[in-house]
Every structure is written in C-alpha cells, then in structure tokens.
Structure 1
Amino acid sequence: MKRRTAELSADDLETLARSPDEGLRVKAALHPHTPLATLLSLAADQAIGVRRALARRTGAPREVLARLARDPTRAVRCAVAAHPGCDEPLRRLLWTDGDGNVRAIAKHAAAIPHHFSEDLARIARNEAVPASVLAEFAELGGQARCAVASHRECPRGWLERFRHDADAAVRLVAETRMGLSLDTLRAFARHRSPSYRVAAAASLPWDDAEMPALLADSHEPVLLALLRRPDFPAAFYAQITDNPPPVVRLVLATHEALDAAHLQRLLRDPRADVRRRVAQRRALSAEQFAALANDDDDRVKRELAKRPDCPEAWLRRWCVAPSEWLRRVVFTHPGVTPDILVNASALPDNHEEIAKHPLTPEKLLAQLADSAGVFVRGAVAQNPSTPERVLSQLARDADSYVRLQVGRNETCPLSLLLDLEHDPDFVVRRHIVWRADCPLDILRRRAADENAHVRYAVADHRQATAEVLSGLARDGAMFVRARAKERLSGS
C-alpha cells in the first residue's frame, strides 16, 4: 500500500529528486517537506519545468529564489519576479534583467524606489556616480551590468570580469571598452551572434581574410556597419551580395562610388523607396536619369524634378503630368521658364499655381484674371508681377477675397489702396491697415472706421501717431481702448 504524500521522508524526497522521471522531480520540488539541500539541487535541474515549478513553489526559501533569479531561462526568472517571497535585493536584480518581459513583471510586482531608478538612469547617461553605486549595479541584472561596463568610471578590473559574463551583450561592451585585438576581432567575425559580427565589421582591416565572409553576410546590421565606414573601398562593392536586404540597398543607393552592376540593379529595384534614393544621388548619367524618369512611381519622378540639374525637357513634360504633387515640384524648380508656365496653362488644374508664379508672363496673367475660379483670380491679385492695369481690374472684383489679395500685394499702387480703404467688406479695409507701409492719412481716416476690428488694427499699427492713439483711447469698444492705452504707455 502506498504511503501518503505527507508521510514521505527526507530520503524518499531525495530519491524522487534524483528520479529520471521529470514529473516525479516536479513533485519533489513542490512538496512542502522537501529539505533545503534537495531544493538547491533541483534549482540546477536540466529540465526547465522542474526549475519553473520550484520558482512557483509557495514559501520557496530565499536561497532557492536567489539562485533561480539568475537562471538562464526567461520563464524561470519571470516566475521568480512574480513570486510573493521575492525580497527587494532580488527585485533589484530582476528590475535590471536583460530581458524586457522579466523587467516588466518585476516592475509590476512592486514599485521601484525612486533613487534606484534615478541611479540607473545616471549610470546609463554616463554621469558621475559614487563608486558604491557602481559596485551595487555591477552585481545586478544584465541591463545594469551593461550600463556599468559602458560607464566612463568603470574600473578595468571589472571590465576584465565582464569579458567573461554570462550575458553576451555585457561581454561585447566590455570587449569594446578594453580595446579589441586583431585576434578577438577575427573571432567576432566568425561569431554566431550578429552583434559580435557588427563589431568586427566596424573595425577589421579591409585586407583581413575574414572580410569576404562579412561582405557576404545576410544580416542587415553587419552590412550596414561595413557600408557606413568612411574608408569603404570602391573595389569592395562587387563583393557585396547581389540581392542585399532592403535597408542595405537604401544605403547603397546613395554611395557615390557604387559599382555599375549594383547601380543598374538598384535602378530596377522592386522597392520604390530604393529607386527614390537612387534619384537623390549626387550624379546621374543621362541614361540613368531617363530610366528613372520613366518610372511608374510618381514619387521617383518628384525626386528627379527636385534636382538642380533636371533637364528642361523633362520639366516641360511633367508640368502637365497627371500627378498634382509632381506638377507642384516642377513649378518650384529654379529652372522653370515662362515658356514652361505657358505650356502648363493648357491644364486648368495648374492655373492657380501659374497665377502666383513670379515668372508668369503678363499676357498670361491678364488671361487668368478673367478666370471663373476665385482662387485663380486671387492668386493673380497677389502676384508681384501682375501689372497695374490688371490689379485695377481685380480691385473691382465681385468677390471680396480677390480684392483682399490686391490690398495685400506688395506692389499695389497707392491709388488702389486709397480706393480699397473704402471697401464695403471690413476684412479688406483691415488688410489695408495691416500693411507695414500703410500711409498715415489712411490710418487717420480708418481710426474713425465703423468697424471696431479695423479701428483695433489702427491702434495696433506701429506707425500710428500719439494723436491717433489718443483718439482711440476713448473708443467705444473696450478692446480698442485697451490696445490704444497700451501703445500710449509704451507696451
């Protein structure tokens, strides 16, 4: 007859702990009478399930939790972080664990002391901290040890210890800080961890025997580390894999010394952002420009239209393209000519952009001044190249928006300003007053305007005299009086 679980002796539990059956070892780990020595032996069990059960054990001894808090398996450390018997020193260890999930559980289980988080932030920012604080964090989780190893005051003896740390990230920081030897860099180049190969790619000599393997590496950060070296030899472009990852192709697209074979492939790259980056290259041959100019993606053409060396023939062609954004880039190009603007006027959607362009011929501006579109007429009205006779016509426009734009035009003659100051729309009159060059006579007359907003604009004008402001200080509108008094007091 089987004995009850509660009657198992220490020898029985020790036998269960050595059983080849994982389930029996789990039972030994969870039994309330299992001796501490047996629990500590189970903390080193090869089965994750046993160690995880031990970390979840109710009333687990502190010595067991301390050993499991440094367990190589994330699930075990997560169980320790959630254990109610985990004290503050263990919490601190887990708060700085190298795994974000462990840190999140530990932070959720108990509040972090403010000074502790502040000290860790100061170490990470490389600020001066007491040696005792560095020593405390050097014994904590991988995140804390990485910060200590990166700190400028980290003793060399600690760096030597960190070189043999269980955490690969800590070892890499320590190796980098101590100065990597050529043999170490070569070992890094063959390391299975990409972070080590990145360190090797950034520092190995170009003639080293390990360099071809790094150039053929399929991991993006490794190739990027090579390409971002300022001394990258042009002869090495041919050794890069023919189909590198997208991020690498983006970097390659702007390398001026890129070999012709890679560049030709990038011109036909399936990703539009790569072709856009090629269009931003400092120099493009006529054949390369033509290949990109016939691209199906308008964003590639827009990058070409921004180039100072964009040929006039392409600007003339794109000024009537279906894409509105492409046409707008063409109109802002310094090489656009009046002939191109006239050619673009064949498309009604271009009329507003053409009407505001300073190079638009006067004849075309006169035609656009008769447009049915109020915003087109408004654009003509604000164009500094619009002749006076056309401005005079627009100053009598039926829409107040157009008349307002005439009043805002820097080249608007005084005769039109004198007419517009009596405009029936107070917004037009206010814009006349807002002009920095508004004549003093207009300011005096508009100080008696029927609209309070116009009178406020007078009170706010920097050219308003004390005589004008004194009258407005007795204005019927409170906000006008207040502004006039502020101006009189020097505010």
Structure 2
Amino acid sequence: MNHVLCGLAANPALPSHLVDRLTAVADGDVASALAARADLTQAQALALASHGEDCAVQLARAGRPGAEHVDPVSHPDLALALLDEGVGDQRWARRLVADPSAARRARLAACPGLPSDVVRTLAVDPDVQVVAELALWSDVPDVVAGPVRHPHTAVRRAAAANEVTPPDLLAALLTGEGLPPARWCEVCEREAIPFVHERACPRLACALPPGARCDGSHGSAVHALRRAALDNPATPADAAARFAGHESALLRWSVARRPGLPAAVYERLAADPVPGVRADLAENAAVGEQVLRTLADARDIDVRRSLARNPSLPLDVLSDVAGTMKKGAAPLPRIAAATPAETARLARSPIPAVRLLVARRRDLPAEIRDALATDPDAAVVAAVASHPGLREAQLRAMLGLHGARVTAQVAANPDATPALLDELARQEPPARKALHAIARHRHATPAALFVCLSDERARRMAAGHPALAPSVITRLLADDDWQVAEAAAANPSLPAEAMAAHIL
C-alpha cells in the first residue's frame, strides 16, 4: 500500500486533474479513499466503480453516479449497489436475477422494492444463500412466510431474524411446533452424520463454524435459529419466556435482553448462574425495580456495571454502584434522563463517583457546570474540564488547583485559547496526553503543533492539522511512520506542487 497516495486521495484540496491522474493508478485502498470524496464528477465515479464491488457499493451509498449513467451489463456491481440503495432502475433486477453468479443473485435478493416476478424467481433459486437473503431482508410478510417452511435451516434462520416475519410464524420457528421438520443444515449437507466439527479444524478450506454438529436433528443449526428468533423483537413474549430456563446459556442470554416478559421470568433470570446472563438482564430497561435491587447486591462487577447503564435504575441504587464504572465512560442513560432537580441533587452528592457521572454530561446548566469545575476531587474536575462554555480563567484555575491531573482535559476544551494551548505544549516535563489533545485542537498554533511532533502519537495527528506550516507538512511526507506520512498527504495545507510530485 502506498500510504502517501492514500492520504492524497482523501485530501479535500486535491485538484480535480490530480484526482483523474490518481484514479488511473489507484489500487483498492487508494480507490476506496477516492470514492469517499464529495467532489467527484460522474466520469470519475464511473471510472472508480470499475475498481471492484467494494468501491461500487461505496459510491452508490454516496449517490454517485446517478442511475442514468450506469449500464448494468458493464457495471453489474454498481447496478446492484444502486438497487440496494433504492435508487436503481428496477429493469436491472430482471436482468440480474438471471446472473450466473449466485453471489450477485444473493445481493439482489437483499435489495428493497424488487418487482414481484423477480421475487418469485428468487424464492425458488437453487442456491440456498439466495433464498436466505430474500428471507432475511424482504419487507413483505407474505414473501417471508414461504421461507419459514423451507427445508434448509439456513433459510429458516434468516426468516427468524426478519422483523416482518408474522409473530405466529416466529413462535413456530422458535419452538418448532406446527412446522414440518427441516431436512438439511449446513452440517449434514456436507458431512456424513453424526458429525461434530472440531473447534481446531485442520482442514484449510472448511467453512463450517467451530462446534457445528448434526445427528439428524440439526443441533447447532436449530440452536442458531432459536437465537435469531429470541433476538427478534417481533417474536411473541410468551414464546420467548419458555426459554428462560433452557439448558443453553446463550439462549437464556437472549431472553434476558427482551422487554415485555412476565415479572416471574425476570426474577428467575436474576438468579441465573451465568454472570453474563445477569449482566444483560441488569441493563434491560423493562426489568422491575425489585429485580434491579436484587441485582445491585451482586458481587460480579460486570453485573453492577451493566446495572449502572440501566435507564430505569432508581437513583439511590445508581449511587451504590457508581464506583464500579470505568474511567472515561460515556454519560449513563439514567444520568442523561435525570430531571433538572435530580441533576442538581446528584451534583451535590457526597460521593465523588456520583458527581463524576454528572460531570460527564455535556448539557449541564451553567451553574452546575461551574460548580463542578471547582470540585475538590480531581477526577470530577477532569470530567468537566472539556465542557464548552468554560472561560479561560476557569480553565487556568483548574490547572492551578489540580495540575497534571487535569492538563489533558483542559487542553481538549474546545474554548481553550491559542495562548493557553501554547503554554500547555511547552510544559516540562511534556504532558503527553495534553499534546494528543492539542494536536487535534482547532485553536492549535503552528508553534504548538511543532512541539506535538516530538510525541509519537501526537505527531500522527499534528501531521494532518491544517495550521501546521506547509514546509513541515511537505517534509513529513517522507516520515518513517506511515501514519504520519498519510496524515500529511491528507492535509489540505499541503502545497499543490508537493501533491503533484507524488502522483506519477
């Protein structure tokens, strides 16, 4: 891979004539970077579409080129990608449904709004994967109803994952009641049964997943089908509840995530021997308060952390588990949903971990934000230091009170002034994390960015900063670190002559 060319392909300042030159020599990675550009002409988009399926899909998702410029014979992958985006010509579908490539027919089956005659043809395709894609992605219940009874478990599993599958059929897929037995699975269609696939299979070309097994009852395939149905929110709650005591922890895990189950089911799962099941239950907003309080007594830290992320958690329980949260975590749903009165009360909590959770919110009223900015706990101040709206005097007061413990967060404040960033960049010993924040800060000066080049990680970010001196950017194209060279090549302040010199 030529990393300088990849960077140039992504450079928004690359002139159009150099885009043409780069397209002519682009490999897969460079073509992908070019396809992400917002300034491509129709001719450039068509030229890039010839670089392969991935590039064609990327272009289609960006709406380039228009359908009127596409020939499905010469650009079938691009035509499929446009159909998948719902902006293609439906006449293409009638041509592509007869494509000799099963992979292309499978991609067609996943497209929305297909003509009814095309859907009927895909539904009886000889390739199981084609029918499975139709079962998974069709938004017409009547279309999915047929695959529910398909003799292959892969097709049934796809229908089990589709939310438009009628609820009664999802219940039947989950329990097996009322459906004819499947005749094939991915194991018995390839191997003599009984067969259990080794987890460390020595066969290089083997496509079976580890642990796949079949003794005639399609064991692993039925298990995967049930997981798909349990994870489908359209599956009836009463059918899902029957699996709360299943011997498979993975199936119980799926049940624990579901809303709308009877309280007795959640109570049973709260005593599950597998911590992962209880952890997912703890994060389920549908679980009642009593179950949440029971889970709060758990010793397993993952259960308590999941509980803290539950948007329905009582605030007193949240205070009990606040100390389990990892440093730097995103604001918790319950904290984000707190009323103004609750937020004010939490911000005054005697527990620093609770005040820390509040400080992570980015929509705090100014008076609460300012109060937390003077908190005696450095972790709380560090969490609030990057909030927009803080004045330079407040940021300097934080540094004076807590020093290196908040330097990086102060440097990340969007309102930090160029003068303050310059001072933080010159600190001795260097504050490495602060340099990382300065290297991507919109107010960073050329002088501060030059200091950032002394740190390996900050160097990679500073190389792409448009405020860096053009002469320095040009030198960085030859840097030993490919990430630095690529970032420099993508820098819009790179001189045009330096761009042209690297595109042969």
Higher helix share: 1
Same fold (TM over 0.5): no
Structure possessing the higher relative contact order (Cα contacts under 8 Å, 6 or more residues apart): 2
Q: Quick check: which has more Rg, 1 or 2?
A: 1
TM bin, normalised by shorter chain, reads 0.3 to 0.5
The TM-score normalised by the length of structure 2 is: 0.41
